[in-house]
Structure 1
Amino acid sequence: MAQKLNTQKPDYSPYVKKFWKYFFMGFGGVLLFFLFASWGLFGSMPSFSELENPESNLATEIISSDGVVIGKFFNENRTPVKYEDLPKHLVEALIATEDERFYEHSGIDGRRTLSASLSLGSRGGASTITQQLAKLLFHGEGSQFLPFRIVQKAKEWIIAIRLERQYTKNEIIAMYFNKVDFINTAVGIRSAAKVYFAKEPKNLTIDEAAMLVGMLKNPSLFNPLKREEKVRERRNVVLKQMEKNNFLTTTQKENFQAKPITLTFTPEKYNEGTATYFREYLRDYMKKWVVENKKEDGSDYNIYSDGLKIYTTIDSRMQLYAEEAAKEHLANLQEEFFLESKKNKTAPFVNIKQSDIDRIMERSMRTSERWRILSEDGKDEEEIKKSFYIKTKMTVFTWKGDRDTIMTPYDSIRYYKHFLQPGLMAMEPQTGFVKAWVGGIDYRYFQYDHVGLGARQVGSTFKPFVYATALEQLGMSPCDTIVDGPFMIRKGRHNVTEDWEPRNSDHQYRGMISLKKALALSVNTVSAKLIDRTGPDAVIDLVKKLGVETEIPSQPSIALGAVDITVRDLVAAFSAFANQGIYIKPQVIVKIEDKNGNVIFEPKLESKDVLSKDVAYAVIKLMEGVTEIGSGSRLRTQGGGWKFERVTGYPYMFDNPIAGKTGTTQNQSDGWFVGMVPNLATGVWVGNDDRSAHFRTLATGQGATMALPIWALFMKKCYADTSLNVSKEAFEKPKDLSIKVDCYVAPRRQVNDSTATDSTAVKIEEQNTDEFGI
C-alpha cells in the first residue's frame, strides 16, 4: 500500500512573531536610546538658549583709527566672520570636500551613513558639516572607547538635527568656518586667512581657499609650515573634488593644481607685529576697565573671549613710520655705541666703580625671569647665582637679526645693557588722540615700555615750562632781553641748602640776550634767573596743571631739567602750547563695541584751560627759535661735513614752522627732542635702560644726535604720505595778540663741532651785537 504524502505547510508564524518582536524591541530600544540621550541621561545636552548662542571664545580686536586690525587679545585667536564675507569658492571647496549633499540633508546624511556602515569606514566617514559643527561646539573630539563613541555619535546626531532646525544652511557654514582650528595661532577662517596669507577671507584665491579647506582633515598633519608637499597634495585633492562637483572646469583645476604653495605667514602673537608696546599698555588699561565696567547682568567682560572691538586712536600708518624711524636711526647709533664701548673696559657702564657694577648686575639677576623660575623651583640663592655663570645655548637680539649663540646668562644681561632704547609718542594737540606709540626696539627681548612707564630725567626740555611761567607771571615776552652772566642763588632762598651757581654748558656768557635766543641756545643762567624770579612752586604748579604726574622737588635746579617725566606726560604737556593753552589728557580709545556691534564704552574728553592763548602762542614762538637758530636747526640744514652725519641721517631740510626743544641730561644718560607742528606733537627719548650705561661724549650723547633724528625721519615719512594731512602751515596766531613775539633773528651758519652740546651744537654768526638791533 502506497505511503501517504504529507502536504501540510511548515508553520513560520512563531519565527515571524519573534522577528517583529525583536525588531520592535530593537527599534524601540534605539528610539529610547536617542530619547534618553536627548534628555541628557548620558551626559548634558545643550539647551535651546545654548543652541541659540553657542559658547565660543572670540578674540578681542584692536583696531586703528584707519580701520586696520593692529592686534588681538585672545585665548583662541578667533574673530567671527559673516557668511556674506566668505568667498563663494571657499564655501564650494568645503562642500565639495566635506559634505557634497549638504543642501539636501537635514543634519544627517542617511545615504553616506549607510555606505560608511556597510564599508566599515573604508570609503570615508559619514559626518556632515553640521555634525562636525556639533562636535566642535558641544563635546569636542571625545573618547575612542566604543560604548562612549556610540553615545557621543548619538548626541552628535541629535545636536546636528537641532542645529539644522535652529539655523539656516548658510549660518551653519559660517559657524563652522568660525570654529575650526587651523593651528599656528589661527582659529577660525578669518584668522587663518590673515595668519597664512595676510588677507581677509573674501580676498582668498581659489587655490588658497582649497589649501585651507584641505587642512581641515587633519591640521597638524597638513601643516603648511612643516609639510609643504603633503599640503600641496591635499590641496589638489580639494581642487579635484571641486571639479567633480562642477565648481571648477578641468582647465581651472589643472592650472590651480600646478601652482606652488605660497604663504605670507604672519603669526598673530602678543609680542610680535606692530604697536606691541602700545598693545601691552592697552591690555593693562583694559584690565582696569573691566573692573569698572560691567555687563548688563552684572558679570565681568573677558577681553580674551568676549569678542570685543576696541577702536583706538592709533594710526597704523604713523605707527609704522614711527617704528621704522626708530629702527633706522638706532641701528646706526647703536653701531657708534659699540665702537665707543670697545675702548671702555667697563662697557657699557661709564665712570663707575666695580662695586657699583656688581650691584647693578646682581639687581638685574634678581629681577630676571631665570631667577624667578629657579626660585619657584626651590633653588637656594647660591645655586641660582651659580647658574648665571654656566654657558648655555640661547638666541639673542642683534640689529642684523636674531642670532643663535652660546654665552652665560650673566653675559647676556650685560650684553643687553649695551642697547639704546627709544620712547616715542605722537598725538594730536587738539583732540588728545595718540597716533603713534613706540616703547622700545623689540618687545620680544625688551619689555619695558619707555613711553608710559619709563619716567626719565628730561634735561633742557623742561625749560619751556620755566619760560611759560615767566611770560605768564612776570608779563615778559620772547623779545625781552636779560643778562647772561654769572649768577648765584644763595643758601636758604627757594629751599636751597647751599649756594647754587649754575653754569652754561659751553662755559661762556653772552651778555644781553633775548629770551628767544636764550631758549634756542639753552642758556642755563637765564633759566636759573627766570625761576628765581617766579619761584619753583609756580613752575611746578603749571607743570602739574599740564598733566605731569611725577613728583617734582621744589628746588631751583628743576629749571635745568633735574626732573623725571614720562614721554607720554611730556608730549601731552607740550601739546597744550600748540592747542592755545588748553591741556587735553592723552586718549587712546575712541570706543569699545561688544561682539554684536553695540557700543558699550566711549571715553569722555578730559581737558582744562591752563594758559591764555597769548602766552601759549608766545611759548610756541620761543620754541620755534630752537629749530631756527638753536640745536634743533639741524632740521633745516643740508649737512656738509658733520662728523656724525652717518648717524644723524642728514639732510632733513624742513622749511615749515616747527616748535621744539632738545634735551640732554648729565653724563648723556638721556637724549630728548619734542617737536610740534600745528596738528601733531611728537616726543622722542633715547637712552640705555640703565642710566650708568651711556655715551662718553656729548657729540653723540646729546638729544640733538640721539633723539632729534628719529623725529626728523618720522616726520619725513608722515609728510611723504599725503593721506595723513600732517600740517606744514604756521601755528594759529591769536587775534589781538598782546605779547610781542616777532623778534629779529640774526643770520646763522652751522659749523662742525664734535664737542657740541645743547647750547653749542650750532654756532651763530651774528651781524649785530644785539640780536634785535636795539
Structure 2
Amino acid sequence: MNRLISSLLAALDKGLTLANPLVAKLWRHLRHPTRRTVAWGFAALPVLFVLYVLLLIPFTPGIRDIRKAKIEQPARILSADGKLLAEFKPSNREWVSLKDISPNVVNALIATEDHRFYQHFGLDWRRTASAALHTFSGDRQGGSTITQQLARNLYPDEIGRAPTLTRKLKEAITAVKIEMLYTKPEILETYLNTVPFLYNAYGIEMAARTYFDKSASDLNVLESATLTGMLKGNSYYNPVLNPERALQRRNTVLAQMVKYGKLTPAAYDTLSRKPLRLDFERQVEPPGPAPHFTQQLRKWLVAWADRNDYNIYSDGLVVRTTIDSRLQTMATQAVTLQGNQLQGIANSAWGTRAGCSADKDLLRTFLRETPDFRAAKDTGLSDDDALKRLLADRQLVQNVCNTKTRVQADFLAMNPRTGEIKAWVGSRDFSEDPFDHVQQARRQPGSTFKPFVYAAAFEAGAKPDDKLPDNPVEIQLTGGEIWKPSDEDEPSGRSISLRDALAYSRNRITAQVMEKVGPNRVAKLARAMGVRDSELDPVPSLALGTSPVTLKEMVSAYGTIANLGTYVEPLMVTRIEDRNGNVLAQFAPATPKRELPADTARTLVDVMRDVVSRGTGASIRTRFGVRGDVAGKTGTTQGNADGWFILIHPQLVAGAWVGFNDSRVTLRSDYWGQGAHSALPIVGDFFQRAQRSRLVDTHVKFDTEQQPGWFAERSARLSDWFQHLFAPAPVQPQKPVVARGQTRRSPVASVKPAETAGTAAPVSEVPEAAGASAVLAEPRALPPLLPVPGSVSGSAPGSAAAPAVGDAVDGETHGGGAPALAPTPTPDDAAPPDAGQGGEGTANGGASN
C-alpha cells in the first residue's frame, strides 16, 4: 500500500512539473514543509480569520435594522372616532419598561446567564474560552452573553441557530453592533420583552401572567428564578409538564444568585425547600371590539405594506378606519342579544341536552361525517358498528350536537353615500367562531334579492301600480323541467299591484315579473349594483334568491338603492400614518358610478318603503319604533335555513343574516325561522339604539321627488310663454268719484254665503289605493310593462294604512275588510297566520321568500 501511494505521489509530482513548474514547487513545499513555511502558515491563520469575519459583516443585520428594532412598534388600528380596535403584534406579547419588571428577575437573569454583563462589550472572552474548553472535554456549555442571545432572538433568520462557527461569528458581530447602539438597561429591557416562554407567551410580562397570573412587576424571588431557569430550555424545564426538572433548575438559579451576591445563603436554604406554586392559564390575545373587521383588514394591510416597504409588526403604523366604535358596540350588542334568544329556541327544538334527540337521523348523518367515524372505520369496523361506537360516546354526541345547532348571525352597516363601513360583526362570538360570515359565508338571500327584479322591471317602464293576476305559474326550464313557484296561500286569481307584490313578498307575482324582464337582465343589474364577487345563475328561480351571496355584497347593493342608483365601493381605511403622525397614504371614497337610472331608483325606494310601513318588515316601526324615512326587505330561504333583513336610510344601510353553519340545520319553526323574526330584530335593535344616540338623523329623507323629463320640462316652459304672450291686459280699476262733503271709504266686496261655499277650493283626498307618487312624470317611450286594467291597489308613499285584510305587524294580522281588488297579504317573514309565506318549488334548487 505504501509503495502504491509513493508511486501515485511521484506520478503527481511529474505531472505537475510538466503542467506548471510553479504549482509543482508549491506542492513540494507542502509535502515537505520547512520551519519557515510552518511559521508563515501560523501567521496567516489570524489574517485569514479576520478576512473571513470582514466578509461576514455584510450578511449580519445592519445598523439601521438594529435602530429600527430598538423602537419596534406594532401597527395600531383606530376607529373613525379615535378608539383602539386592535394592534397587529407578531406574537402574544406586551412590552413593559425595565422599571416595571421586578428586580428579582434582573438579578436572577444576570447571575445565571451573564454575571459580567456590565463589564463586557457584547462578548465575554473569558466565558467563551471556558465554554470552549468544557465543550472540547465533552461537557458542552453555552458561552453566549445576554447581548448575543438578544441578537439571536431579534434576528433568527439572519443569524440562524445551527451550531457552526459561521453562526457564532454572525452572532458575535451583531452583539457588538447592539452594544454600540443600546445602553445596558435598554439591552436588558429588550431581551426580557422578546424572549419566548412557551404557550404563545413572549416576554416576561406574558410569562408572568401565564404561569403565575400576575404582572412582571410583582414576581418574587422564587417565581423569578423559575422563569429564568426556563431560558436554558423551555420545553425541558417546562414547569407545567416537567415540574421536577423545573424545580431543580430553579434551585440552580437560586444557587447562582447566592454565588454572585444577589441572595444570602440563609435565604437560599429556606427558599430551595419550597415547592413550585404555579397559577397557570394560557393567555389569549383579546380580540378587540371589531375582530372580524380587523381580521379582514390585516390581509389588506399586509399587501399594502409589502408594496410600500413597510412592516405592520414593527414600523408603528397608525391605520385610521371607517368603523364607528359606538355603532360597532351597538351592533355587537344587538347580535349577542338576538343570538342568545334564538339559541334558547334552537336548544328546545333540537333537544340539545339529550344529544339532538329531536332528529336522530340527522344526528347519525353528522356523526358519519366526523373524523372519529373514519378512524373507527379504519380499525376494520363496519358502518353500523362504527356508528354504534360513536353513539355510545355521550361526550362526542353532545359536542357534535352543540356545534351543529349553534345559531350564527352576522351584521354589516355602511354609509351609502361614501361606502364607509361603520359596523361589522362576523359571528356571535369571535373566540368560538372566528369564521367571518359577513365576507366569507355565501348563503341564499331569499326574498332580499327581489328588489333587483323589480328594479329591472321599473327600468323597463313598469309602474308600481301595474298589476298581475295571482294565478298559478309554470315556467319551462332548460332540460324539460317545470318551475312552479308558490306562496303559502292558494292562488286567488285577483290582480295584485307590483307595489303590494314587493311589500308582501309575493312569489308568484315576482316570478311573472322575472319572466317578462329576463334572468340575464336581472343578474346583470344585481352585479352592477354590488353583488360582484358571487356567481349569479341566470335562471328564473334567481328571482327568489337561489344563488348564494355574501352579506357584504347585499348591503353594498342595497347601498346603491339608498344612493338613488349610484354604486360606491365599500371603504375600510381612510388614512395611514407613521408613528410620528405623518400621513403616508389617504383613501378617499370611490367615485360614485351610476348603475341604475335615478328615476328608477326613486321608484324602487318608494315601493320598498311599504315593506316597513305595512308589509313584511312592519315590526321595524311597531316593535322597535324606528322613525324617519326608511325602507327595506326581509328574506327567508326554503326550509327557513336562512333569515335576512336589510334596512336602508339615506345615511346608513344595515343588514343581518341568521342561520347555522350547516344549512341542513334550521330553527325548526315557521315563525322564528322567518327573517322578520330572526334577522330583523338585530337590525331593529341596532337602528333603535343608533337613533336614540343621534348617530342617525331621523329628519333626513330620500330625495324621491320625480324630476320632470326633458320633454315635459320644455313643454311646461312653452306653455308658460304662450300664457304670458296671449294673456289679456289687466283692467285698471277706476277710481271712485267722491262727491264734495262725502267721506271716502274703502270698497268692501260682499260675498254671499252660497257663493262662498260654491267657490272654495275643494280638499283633494288621494285614496290609499292611488299610489300616484310612484308614477314617473316623464313620458316613457316604452308602454307599461304590465298593463292590467282595473283600479290601482297600491298605497300612497309612506302610508301605513291597512291593505286587504290588515297590517302585517310582527306576524299578526290587524284590521279588517278591504276592497275587492286588494290582494290577500302574503308577508314574506311577518306573515299573518291566515295569509302565509310564499314558498318555492324544488326545481332549480329552492329558496323561498
User: Where on the TM-score scale, by shorter chain, does this alignment land: which range?
Assistant: 0.5 to 0.7
For 1:39-58, what aligned pairs fall within 5 Å after superposition? Answer: 49-54=61-66
- Residues in 1 aligned to 2:219 and 2:597: alpha-carbon distance in whole angstroms: 60
Q: Which amino acid aligns with 2:801?
A: P
- Residue 737 of structure 2: aligned partner: none
- Residues in 2 aligned to 1:210 and 1:702: alpha-carbon distance in whole angstroms: 62
- Residues in 2 aligned to 1:197 and 1:275: alpha-carbon distance in whole angstroms: 30
- Whether 1:72 aligns to 2:122 is no
Question: Which of 459, 480, 494 is the aligned partner of 2:446?
Answer: 459
- Residue 765 of structure 1: aligned partner: 815
Compare 127-136 and 542-551 and name the one that shifted more: 127-136
- Residue 713 of structure 1: aligned partner: 685
Q: Which amino acid aligns with 2:62?
A: E
Unaligned 5+ runs, structure 2? 1-43, 132-141, 255-277, 709-771, 775-795, 823-849
For 1:624-703, what aligned pairs fall within 5 Å after superposition? Answer: 624-638=609-623, 652-703=624-675
Q: Which amino acid aligns with 2:528?
A: K
Against the structure 1 CA distance between its residues 518 and 695, is the aligned structure 2 distance closer, same or farther, given a 3 Å change threshold? Answer: same
- Residue 6 of structure 1: aligned partner: none
Question: Which of 790, 797, 802 is the aligned partner of 1:743?
Answer: 797
- Residues in 2 aligned to 1:102 and 1:737: alpha-carbon distance in whole angstroms: 85
Against the structure 1 CA distance between its residues 720 and 38, is the aligned structure 2 distance closer, same or farther, given a 3 Å change threshold? Answer: farther
Alpha-carbon contact 1:629-1:764 (below 8 Å) kept:
no
- Whether 1:524 aligns to 2:504 is no
- Whether 1:323 aligns to 2:332 is yes
- Residue 585 of structure 1: aligned partner: 569
- Whether 1:546 aligns to 2:529 is yes
Q: Which amino acid aligns with 1:267?
A: V
Alpha-carbon contact 1:89-1:209 (below 8 Å) kept:
no
Against the structure 1 CA distance between its residues 323 and 391, is the aligned structure 2 distance closer, same or farther, given a 3 Å change threshold? Answer: farther
Alpha-carbon contact 2:69-2:314 (below 8 Å) kept:
yes
Question: Which of 721, 730, 734 is the aligned partner of 2:700?
Answer: 730
Q: Which amino acid aligns with 2:658?
A: V
Alpha-carbon contact 1:678-1:729 (below 8 Å) kept:
no
- Residues in 1 aligned to 2:210 and 2:378: alpha-carbon distance in whole angstroms: 40
Alpha-carbon contact 1:496-1:556 (below 8 Å) kept:
no
- Whether 1:537 aligns to 2:498 is no
Alpha-carbon contact 1:427-1:433 (below 8 Å) kept:
yes
- Residue 610 of structure 1: aligned partner: 595
| CA deviation after TM superposition for structure 1 residue 450, in Å | 2.5
The structure number with the bigger radius of gyration is 2
Alpha-carbon contact 1:747-1:764 (below 8 Å) kept:
no
Q: Over residues 161-186 of structure 1, what are the superposed CA-to-partner deviations in whole Å (9 max), with x where a residue is unaligned?
A: 54332346786566446534466534
Q: Over residues 221-240 of structure 1, what are the superposed CA-to-partner deviations in whole Å (9 max), with x where a residue is unaligned?
A: 9999x99xx9xx99xx9xxx
Against the structure 1 CA distance between its residues 483 and 197, is the aligned structure 2 distance closer, same or farther, given a 3 Å change threshold? Answer: farther
Against the structure 1 CA distance between its residues 275 and 210, is the aligned structure 2 distance closer, same or farther, given a 3 Å change threshold? Answer: farther
| CA deviation after TM superposition for structure 1 residue 443, in Å | 4.8
- Residue 575 of structure 1: aligned partner: 559
| CA deviation after TM superposition for structure 1 residue 619, in Å | 2.2
| CA deviation after TM superposition for structure 1 residue 458, in Å | 1.7
Question: Which of 428, 439, 444 is the aligned partner of 2:415?
Answer: 428
Q: Which amino acid aligns with 1:461?
A: T
Against the structure 1 CA distance between its residues 137 and 488, is the aligned structure 2 distance closer, same or farther, given a 3 Å change threshold? Answer: closer
| CA deviation after TM superposition for structure 1 residue 468, in Å | 1.6
Q: Over residues 692-740 of structure 1, what are the superposed CA-to-partner deviations in whole Å (9 max), with x where a residue is unaligned?
A: 3223332121111111112223334444556xx3343333316764592
- Residue 200 of structure 2: aligned partner: 185
Q: TM-score, length-normalised on structure 2? A: 0.59
Question: Which of 68, 77, 84 is the aligned partner of 1:63?
Answer: 77
Q: Which amino acid aligns with 2:815?
A: E
| CA deviation after TM superposition for structure 1 residue 686, in Å | 1.2
For 1:311-390, what aligned pairs fall within 5 Å after superposition? Answer: 312-342=321-351, 354=361, 362=368, 364-365=369-370, 390=389
| CA deviation after TM superposition for structure 1 residue 578, in Å | 1.3
Alpha-carbon contact 1:457-1:561 (below 8 Å) kept:
yes
- Whether 1:163 aligns to 2:178 is yes
RMSD, matched Cα: 6.1
- Residues in 2 aligned to 1:655 and 1:180: alpha-carbon distance in whole angstroms: 56
- Residue 12 of structure 1: aligned partner: none
Q: Which amino acid aligns with 1:165?
A: M
| CA deviation after TM superposition for structure 1 residue 467, in Å | 1.9
Match of 2:422, SS state, is strand
Q: Over residues 89-146 of structure 1, what are the superposed CA-to-partner deviations in whole Å (9 max), with x where a residue is unaligned?
A: 6699998997899999784799x99xxx9xxxxxxx9999757645644689x99xxx
- Residues in 1 aligned to 2:615 and 2:665: alpha-carbon distance in whole angstroms: 27
Against the structure 1 CA distance between its residues 491 and 568, is the aligned structure 2 distance closer, same or farther, given a 3 Å change threshold? Answer: closer
Alpha-carbon contact 2:468-2:509 (below 8 Å) kept:
yes
Q: Over residues 13-70 of structure 1, what are the superposed CA-to-partner deviations in whole Å (9 max), with x where a residue is unaligned?
A: xxxxxxxxxxxxxxxxxxx999999877799778675344149797964724344243
Against the structure 1 CA distance between its residues 709 and 565, is the aligned structure 2 distance closer, same or farther, given a 3 Å change threshold? Answer: same
Match of 2:657, SS state, is strand
Alpha-carbon contact 1:582-1:608 (below 8 Å) kept:
yes
| CA deviation after TM superposition for structure 1 residue 389, in Å | 5.7
Q: Which amino acid aligns with 1:676?
A: I
| CA deviation after TM superposition for structure 1 residue 675, in Å | 1.6
- Residue 704 of structure 1: aligned partner: 676
| CA deviation after TM superposition for structure 1 residue 768, in Å | 6.5
Q: Which amino acid aligns with 1:338?
A: N
Against the structure 1 CA distance between its residues 564 and 165, is the aligned structure 2 distance closer, same or farther, given a 3 Å change threshold? Answer: closer
Q: TM-score, length-normalised on structure 1? A: 0.64
Match of 1:435, SS state, is strand
Q: Which amino acid aligns with 1:164?
A: E
Against the structure 1 CA distance between its residues 209 and 693, is the aligned structure 2 distance closer, same or farther, given a 3 Å change threshold? Answer: same
Match of 1:605, SS state, is coil
Against the structure 1 CA distance between its residues 414 and 339, is the aligned structure 2 distance closer, same or farther, given a 3 Å change threshold? Answer: closer
| CA deviation after TM superposition for structure 1 residue 150, in Å | 14
Unaligned 5+ runs, structure 1? 1-31, 118-124, 238-260, 394-405, 639-651
For 1:115-154, what aligned pairs fall within 5 Å after superposition? Answer: 133-134=150-151, 136-137=153-154
Compare 522-531 and 156-165 and name the one that shifted more: 156-165
Alpha-carbon contact 1:744-1:771 (below 8 Å) kept:
no
| CA deviation after TM superposition for structure 1 residue 333, in Å | 1.2
Alpha-carbon contact 2:575-2:583 (below 8 Å) kept:
no
Against the structure 1 CA distance between its residues 660 and 694, is the aligned structure 2 distance closer, same or farther, given a 3 Å change threshold? Answer: same
Alpha-carbon contact 1:470-1:530 (below 8 Å) kept:
yes
Q: Which amino acid aligns with 1:63?
A: I
